[in-house]
Structure 1
Amino acid sequence: MSFNQMISSWQKLSTKIVGALLGMLALALTAIACTLFLSWQLEGSSAAINETGRLRMQTYRLTLLVGSESRSGVLPQVLLVDEMLAKIGRGDPQRPLFLPPSAAIKTEFERIVQAWRRELRPAALGVASAAQARAFEQEAQGFAGQVDQLVRLIERDSEQRTFWLRGSQLILVGMAIIGTVSMIYLMFMLIIEPVTRLRLGMQRMKERDFSVRLAVDSNDEFGQLASGFNQMADRLQALYGNLEEGVRSKTATLEYRNRELALLYESAAFLQRPQPLEAICGGFMERIVAYFEADGSTVRVLDAERGNLHMVVHTGLSEELVASEHCLKVGDCLCGTAVQEKVAKVHDMRRIDRAHELKCHREGFATVSVFQIHAHEQHLGFFNLHFRHARVFSARELALLETLGQLLGIALENLRLAAREREMAVSEERNLVAQGLHDSIAQSLNFLNLQVQMLDDSVRKARYDQVQDIVPALQAGIKESYDDVRELLLNFRSRLMEDDLIGSLRAALDKFRRQTGIDAELLADVDGAPFPREQQLQLLFIVQEALSNIRKHAQASHVEVRLADDQDFTLTVSDNGVGFDAAAVLEKGESHVGLHIMRERAQRIGASFDVHASPGRGTTIELHLAREQRRAA
């Protein structure tokens, strides 16, 4: 392990705690070991005191044995004393028994051993008379005094060691107290205080105080936690600041997009309304001017054949400027050039016209923008936005204005298509009217013309009997022509009764019955989706044309109109009249105008048209509209 790794290891919190605990354990074990050693020594000293006391007693007993008449017990007693001295000198660790390791005690014990071996033991074994016994008794008293001195030395040593034992116990108690306080302080410094700082920091962080930072006082785990907390706080503070800025930016973007969508929605909804060109362009520019806070605006439509740009509406421009630029040529001025290039332009008038030669610049406009109006890759014109201050458009604004130009272009194109559709509808209806007039009035007038020629010829030749025959024919022809004209006028003026096809058909049949006296009935099984008004009108006109043909040609007494409307639609008009050769009529093509008119009206709504007829068996016309072709109202 390298030196840096060792330092890093010692800086760890776990290492500090384990080291402190091991240190406290080592001190406690040392104190306990000292106490146990002192206790062991005191036990050995106590046993030595007891043995020494016994030695004194055995000395007194030896004195008694020496002074007795029978000295047979002297030798065993001497041997016992030898054994006791050897045991005291040798000691017994298991008992324990040993003399304290004091120089004075060891010296005194050596004196006692020497005195016994040199003086007292030989004397005890050599006593032969009473006088020697009395001399031995005196020596034994001196020996006993030496033993007492040894006991006193051992007792003083034991007292000292007892003092040391109590001192070590007190030290052990003090170490326990100091160790506990030290461990509490250590735990407080190493764990509790860092945890408290971390908790307070987290509390402030919870209260969105992202400026809080923790002091990094060490490189241990809590130091690393504090450093990580500070890094987290830096990150959160940056993220929160960026989040607030991002929220403000997103809010501004969302508000802009909402305004943009509102402008697009309002413009699209407005342009869908049926209204004249001036109203469409005026309302359109009113919304754009309000959105972009422009000081002026114009809308010009392109006359591609003549290359002219006609001003339709304008705001914020002087009458002089309007009069002079009411009609521009493609390629003229800045606007005409933009049309020629078919691109949007934003002109800073202060840069391109410093001499104030352009009329827009003289009017006080600093920025003039040109945006194209187009639909389906067809260029229809452009609209201007004029600003008296410098105005720069962002990419989103340019895209928005381009989209608005497309919306206006589609509205103008729809306006033109609607006008053309109306023109074609009028033309087709006039064609049908012409065919109807040709089928009825023209033929009647041709008949009347022949009768008038015959009348003129008869009058010039004075054939008055022929005149009497021709005049009633003329009257009948005129009446028939009048009836045809009246019927055509009534049919042309026919209207749906509040989009009620069944009610309108009943009214047409009632009128037919009143005018012709022919029995007519309507059988309707209607369960399908309602038709648009245009299709309902065409169906009504077909039935009216069929009834007109029946009145003129069928000589019928009963007519039946049947509607079967489920998913497919079928309309049949049947009569029990004289009928005709359907194959022969179909070969004539368009010569039979009534059938041709009904077939054209059926084709307008996408229906098939068939005629079923034979001489003497009546006629049936059938119109069928498949579910794929019908349109719901």
Structure 2
Amino acid sequence: MPLDALIPSRHKLSTKIVGALLGFLLLALTAILTTLYLSWQLEGSAAAINDTGSVRMNSYRLAILLDRAHDGDPRAAAAAARQLNHISATLAQLREGDPQRPLLLPPTGAIRTQFEAIAGEWQTGLRPEALALARLAGPARAAAQARFGEHTEQFVARVDALVKLIERDSETRTFWLRGSQLALLGLAMVGTVSLIYLMFSLIVEPVTRLHEGLNRMKEHDFAVRLSLESRDEFGQLGQGFNQMADRLQALYGSLEERVRLKTATLEYQNRELALLYDAAAFLQRPQPLEPLCRGLLQRICEFFEADGGSVRVLDNSRGNLHMVVHQGISPELVAREHCIKVGDCLCGEAVQRKVTVIHDLRKMDKAYELECHREGFATVSVFHIYAQQQHLGFFNLHFRSPKEFDARAQSLLETLGQLLGTAIENLRLGAREREMAVSEERNLVAQGLHDSIAQGLNFLNLQVQMLDQSVRDGKIDDVAEIIPMLRAGVQESYEDVRELLHNFRSRLVEENLVGALETTVDKFRRQTGMAAELVADIDGAPFPREQQLQLLFIVQEALSNVRKHAGASRVLVRLQDREDFTLTIEDDGDGFDPDKLAGLGDSHVGIDIMRERAVRIDATLALRSAPGVGTTIELTLPRAQRRAA
């Protein structure tokens, strides 16, 4: 939430400053306007004095012009008429005023009364007399001239009185003008001092206090606090400073304890990580089930300082929990609980509910005392072993002193249970994979025996039956013919057995496929006397050992078929290993019709064996042959299916 949202508008620093400035501005404007108004009035009064004085002068001049006109001066009569109009216009202008000059009579009652008396006397007395005097002639004019002079003196006296009234009013207004100017000067001085004081009290002093507080806090004086004298932004800052000081003081006061706790936490976390790394590395080693479980149990007992423990695996088919390994448990307890049922005892119930359980045996009813309690254990915990959501068993930790596990320790033990479950499942999967591999290899061996030894023995069996019949019939010539055939059949079966034994014992030397193929081709050349050649163009990534063995067995099977069936004189084995891998075995033997191969039954099982081995490494096997043109076997492993070693 923003800071200004927490401060009422009337307490905001900006409101105070703006209010003070506006107040001083209003006072200054009032003083300035008053001064201007008084100056304007004084200018109007000065103009009024001048015009009023001109009325006095023009009155005398009018009398003089009338006197000249009586002496026969024609211009004087016209000037007198103009003078009459000028005086009337001046009085009218004094009454109405002129803001442009400026010209105005002071708005006081005495001045207005005197002016109205002068204007009335002019309009009703002096002006009509002047007009009448201008028309008279002869002796009567002299008497009228004398009366007009007296009347003019009286009128001028009244005008003088009006001028003095205006002058006295101007003096008063001049006094007030000077007073307003002095007030404006005083206001400027007071405003300046007030603004300095206001800025100091509202800004400078709080900033100074805050700066001093920060300097003291910089010197590790966390007991410093700022006095909160206002509710504006600086008050909020002071409140925030005090809250920060409270927290810093609390944190600094408990810093050593917090560091100690944090160090202990880090040490425990490091021990946890070390245990997890050590357990993971140990469980990845190839080893039987019992050493696997024993090694992990020892590490767990050492980490949690357990007095004993055990690992049990679950037999789902029978609902049994078999103890695999144990530690710190008496032989009697092991003998009694070597195998328990799911649901029996506290451990069996935990398996049935599939939850982590920590038993405080001290709180149990003595009437239902368990074997673990009789052994002297105060706490027994049960943590399950899982692999891929599959429950495989559990492990126990036994403590002779009461033991509690926080959420972190329980999470660590559950993780170790999952690691152990994964290792156990990997052992089972490895055993199943080995069983499957042995089963598949036995199937291939059986097919090989059927293709070679079984066929030869069947032939020998028929020949023995014919020999037995010939001996009974006394056909010595037939016996002489059968015996060489028996000898040849036995020799061929012997050679097949030796070849099969050699093939079964074939191994890769340092995973060198080309070297193993050279050895196989060289031996085939020596045993059969055929011209056999190996051409290898190798530039691809090495194969895994399993794929290399299958390729070697395929070549051996193909060469065996050439020896037994092809009647060839030359054999070429070619390897082309780029991105795609190609293996070709060509011979120049008799050949055959591939379409009739399926009708030959079990006499040519070797082709099927080679195809099965090719499928095991994701390769394809193609057979091309025709009577009289030899046979070509081509194995292809595309780049997409190739697996690097």
Question: TM-score band (shorter)?
Answer: 0.5 to 0.7
- The worse-fitting range, judged by mean Cα deviation, of 588-597 and 608-617 is 588-597
Q: Return the alpha-carbon distance in structure 2 between the equivalents of residues 628 and 240 of structure 1.
A: 68
Match of 2:300 in 1: 288
- Counterpart of 2:322 in structure 1 is 310
Answer yes or no: is the 8 Å Cα contact 2:226–2:241 preserved in 1. Answer: no
CA deviations 1:179-224 (Å, max 9, x no partner) are: xxx9xxx99x9899988776554333234432334567x7699xx8
Partner Cα distance (2:354, 2:337) in 1: 19
The 1:345–1:227 alpha-carbon spacing in structure 2 relative to 1, beyond 3 Å, is closer
**Counterpart in 1 of 2:353?**
341
Residue 241 to residue 588, structure 1, CA distance change in 2 (3 Å): farther
Does 1:416 pair with 2:428? Answer: yes
Q: Does 2:607 match 1:595?
A: yes
Q: Does 1:572 align with 2:584?
A: yes
- Per-residue CA deviations over 1:66-112 (Å, capped at 9, x if unaligned) read xxxxxxxxxxxxxxxxxxxxxxxxxxxxxxxxxxxxxxxxxxxxxxx
3-state SS, counterpart of residue 322 of structure 2: strand
Q: Which amino acid letter does the alignment assign opposite residue 641 of structure 2?
A: Q
For the 8 Å contact 1:295–1:387, the answer to whether it is kept is yes
Note if contact 1:214-1:229 (Cα within 8 Å) is conserved in structure 2.
yes
Pair 1:275–1:353, CA change in 2 (3 A): farther
Secondary structure at the aligned position of 2:323 is classed as strand
Q: Where do 1:389-408 residues align within 5 Å?
A: 389-408=401-420
Partner residue of 1:370 out of 369, 373, 382: 382
**TM-superposed deviation, 1:554:** 0.9
Deviation of the 1:546 alpha carbon: 0.5
Aligned partner (choices 270, 277, 299) of residue 282 of structure 2: 270
**SS of residue in 2 equivalent to 1:422:** helix
Q: Map 1:141-290; keep pairs closer than 5 Å.
A: 199-213=211-225, 228=237, 231-239=240-248, 241-242=250-251, 244=255, 252-290=264-302
> Counterpart amino acid of 1:431?
N
Normalised by the length of structure 1, the TM-score is 0.66
Give the one of 425, 431, 440 matched to 2:443: 431
Percent identity over paired residues: 65
Contact 1:213 1:230 (8 Å CA) reproduced: no
Could you say if the C-alpha distance between residues 591 and 375 of structure 1 is closer, same or farther in structure 2, counting changes exceeding 3 Å? farther
Amino acid at match of 2:485: A
Q: Provide the residue aligned with 2:103 in structure 1.
A: none
1:441 partner amino acid:
I
Change (3 A) 1:258 1:425: same
**Shift, 1:604, TM fit:** 1.1
Go from structure 1 to structure 2 and tell me whether the alpha carbon gap of 1:208 and 1:428 turns closer, same or farther (over 3 Å shift): same
CA distance in 2 between partners of 1:418 and 1:227 (Å): 70
Query: Would you say the 8 A contact 1:214–1:227 is kept in 2?
Result: no
Q: CA deviation at 1:322?
A: 0.8
Contact 2:283 2:420 in 1 (8 A): yes
Of 473, 484, 487, the residue aligned with 1:472 is: 484
What's the counterpart of residue 40 of structure 1?
none
Answer yes or no: is the 8 Å Cα contact 2:225–2:245 preserved in 1. Answer: no
**Superposition deviation, residue 297 in structure 1:** 0.6
Task: State which of 526, 529, 532 in structure 2 corresponds to 1:517.
Answer: 529
Residue pair 1:198, 1:226 contacting (<8 A) in 2 also: no
1:231 Cα deviation from its structure 2 partner: 4.0
Distance 1:219 1:301, change over 3 A: closer
What are the within-5 Å matches in structure 2 for residues 57-206 of structure 1?
199-206=211-218
The partner residue of 2:553 within 517, 535, 541 is 541
Across the two proteins, how many residue pairs are aligned to each other?
A: 464
- Offset at residue 627 of structure 1 (A): 2.2
Quote how far apart the aligned CAs of 1:275 are: 0.5
Deviation readout 1:325-357 (Å, 9 max, x if unpaired): 111122221111222222221111111243472
- The 3 A distance-change label for structure 1 pair 418 and 473 is same
Partner of 1:112: none
SS in 1 for 2:369: coil
Q: For 1:373, give the aligned amino acid.
A: I
Question: Partners of 2:561 and 2:506 in 1: how far apart?
Answer: 17
Counterparts of 2:600 and 2:618, CA distance in 1: 24
Post-superposition offset of 1:533: 0.6
Which one is further off, 225-234 or 587-596?
225-234
Unaligned runs of 5+ in 2: 1-9, 25-192
Distance, in Å, in 1 between the alignment partners of 2:239 and 2:447 is: 95
| Distance of aligned partners of 1:278 and 1:375 in 2 relative to their CA distance in 1, 3 Å threshold | same
Aligned letter for 1:306? R
What do the CA deviations read for 1:397-432 (whole angstroms, capped 9, x no partner)? 223222222221121111111111111111111111
- Indicate yes or no: 2:641 matched with 1:632: no
Q: Secondary structure at the match of 2:639?
A: coil
User: Residue 300 in 1 paired to residue 312 in 2?
Assistant: yes
Superposed displacement of residue 226, structure 1? 8.9
Question: Does the 8 Å contact 1:556/1:575 carry over to 2?
Answer: yes
Q: Secondary structure at the match of 2:623?
A: strand
- Identify which of 573, 584, 587 aligns with 2:596: 584
Q: How many Å separate the matches in 1 of 2:251 and 2:572? A: 81
Provide the rounded CA distance (Å) in 1 between the counterparts of 2:221 and 2:537: 78
Deviation at 1:492, TM superposition (A): 0.4
Structure 2 equivalent of residue 152 of structure 1: none
RMSD: 3.6
- Counterpart secondary structure, 2:641: coil
Task: Look up the equivalent residue of 1:477 and give its one-letter code.
Answer: G
CA distance in 2, matches of 1:501, 1:598: 17
What residue is the counterpart of 2:397 in the other structure? Answer: 385
Q: Secondary structure at the match of 2:642?
A: coil
Is the counterpart of residue 501 in structure 1 residue 510 in structure 2? no
Moved more, 540-549 or 191-200: 191-200
The 8 Å contact of residues 311 and 395 in structure 2, kept in 1 or not, is answered as yes
Q: What are the superposed Cα offsets for residues 367-387 of structure 1, whole Å, 9 maximum, x if unpaired?
A: 111122222232221111111
In the alignment, is the contact (CA less than 8 A) between 1:569 and 1:626 conserved in 2?
yes
User: Which residue in the other structure is 1:492 paired with?
Assistant: 504
CA separation of 1:353 and 1:276: change in aligned 2, threshold 3 A: farther
Aligned-partner residue type, residue 424 of structure 2: L
In 2, Cα distance between the equivalents of 1:631 and 1:596? 24
Q: CA deviation at 1:256?
A: 3.9
Q: Distance in 2 between matches of 1:198 and 1:407?
A: 58
Q: What whole-Å deviation, never above 9, does each CA across 1:287-322 have from its counterpart, x for those lacking one?
A: 221222211110011122222211100011011111
Comparing 382-391 with 256-265, which one deviates more in the overlay? 256-265
Q: 1:358 to 1:578 in 2, by over 3 A?
A: same
Deviation string 1:229-282 (CA, Å, 9 cap, x unpaired) is: 574254145157459577766655554444333323322222121100001111
Contact 2:224–2:245 at 8 Å: present in 1 too? no
The 1-side partners of 2:472 and 2:489 are apart by 22
Are the structure 2 counterparts of residues 228 and 538 from structure 1 closer, same or farther at C-alpha, using a change threshold of 3 Å? same
Indicate the residue corresponding to 1:87 in structure 2.
Answer: none
Counterpart CA distance in 2 for 1:390 and 1:514 is: 78
Q: Verify the 8 A CA contact 1:345 1:371 in the aligned structure 2.
A: yes
| Secondary structure of the corresponding residue to residue 628 of structure 1 | helix
Q: TM-score, normalised by structure 2?
A: 0.65
Paired residues of 1:289 and 1:296 also in contact (CA < 8 A): yes
In the alignment, which residue of structure 1 is the partner of 2:39?
none
1:210 & 1:586 partners in 2: Cα distance? 98
- The answer as to whether partners of 2:312 and 2:322 remain within 8 angstroms in 1 is yes
